[in-house]
Amino acid sequence: GDKAFAQFLTDEINEEKKIQKHKSLPKVSGGWELEVHGTEAKLVRKIAGEKITVTFNINNSIPPSAEEDTQEQQKPDEQEPELTSTPNFVVEVIKDDTKQTLVLDCHFPEDEIGHEGEEESDIFTIREVSFQPTGEADWKDTNYTLNTDSLDWALYDHLMDFLADRGVDNTFADELIELSTALEHQEYIKFLEDLKSFVKCQ
């Protein structure tokens, strides 16, 4: 059984490498620096008196509906449809002269993806906003968190503009999806390789 499993994994790894779009991770335009720690990625950008960081994790970032369809309809020789990774991401805006960090929790609404040509709509939404003490690893649940569900639209629009002014806009979000998808695929291949070594190990 293990031999067959290892052989299957070898074939699978070769297939995945064939369809791998990016041999190295795509860059995000606008002067963002990328740090990757396992499945977590962090983009950092400094502008006058501010540091903006965007953090996301590729785990569980592929919407579930995509996977179910492929199981049923796929013919053996068909190319698998492309899976896209749309992770939630957290934007932190740190101003040099304050002790507080503005934290915006953003996500890609599942039904919005792939609506080409709709210039008006944003491809991501802000879900929650809070202030956190700068430099503290653990955020406090006691800090007020604003949920955007019941928010005045004008205030919400200002928050979106605030992000766009700092380089977090639709273009950025598109590139983040591209980066996340490439990172997810890279980690998947690495996982298959680790699994193969593990299975082969007597």
DSSP class per residue in 129-166:
EEEEETT-SSPPTTS-EEEGGG--HHHHHHHHHHHHHT
What pLDDT is attached to residue 98? Answer: 84
27-59+83-181 CATH choice from 3.40.50.150, 3.10.280.10, 3.40.190.10, 3.40.640.10: 3.10.280.10
Tell me the per-residue pLDDT of 135-187, one tens digit each, with 9 for 90 and over.
776 767 778 899 999 889 999 999 999 999 999 999 999 999 999 999 999 99
What pLDDT is attached to residue 202? Answer: 63
Q: How many CA atoms lie within 13 A of 166 on its CB side?
A: 24
Residues 130-138, mean pLDDT to the nearest whole number: 80
Residues 104-121, mean pLDDT to the nearest whole number: 68
Residues 55-81, mean pLDDT to the nearest whole number: 65
Among the listed residues 86, 89, 78, the one whose alpha carbon sits nearest the alpha carbon of residue 174: 86
pLDDT score of 112 more than 70: no
User: What share of the chain has pLDDT > 70, as a percent?
Assistant: 84
pLDDT score of 134 more than 70: yes
Residues 98-122, mean pLDDT to the nearest whole number: 74
Residues 7-14, mean pLDDT to the nearest whole number: 95
Task: Specify the range with the lowest mean pLDDT, choosing from 31-45, 77-91, 113-127, 156-170.
Answer: 113-127
Pairing of strands 33-37, 50-57: unpaired
Tell me the per-residue pLDDT of 69-90, one tens digit each, with 9 for 90 and over.
444 444 444 455 678 999 999 9
pLDDT score of 197 more than 50: yes
User: What share of the chain has pLDDT > 90, as a percent?
Assistant: 64
Residues 33-44, mean pLDDT to the nearest whole number: 96
The number of helix segments (H) and strand segments (E) in the chain equals 4, 7
Higher-confidence residue: 147 or 113? 147
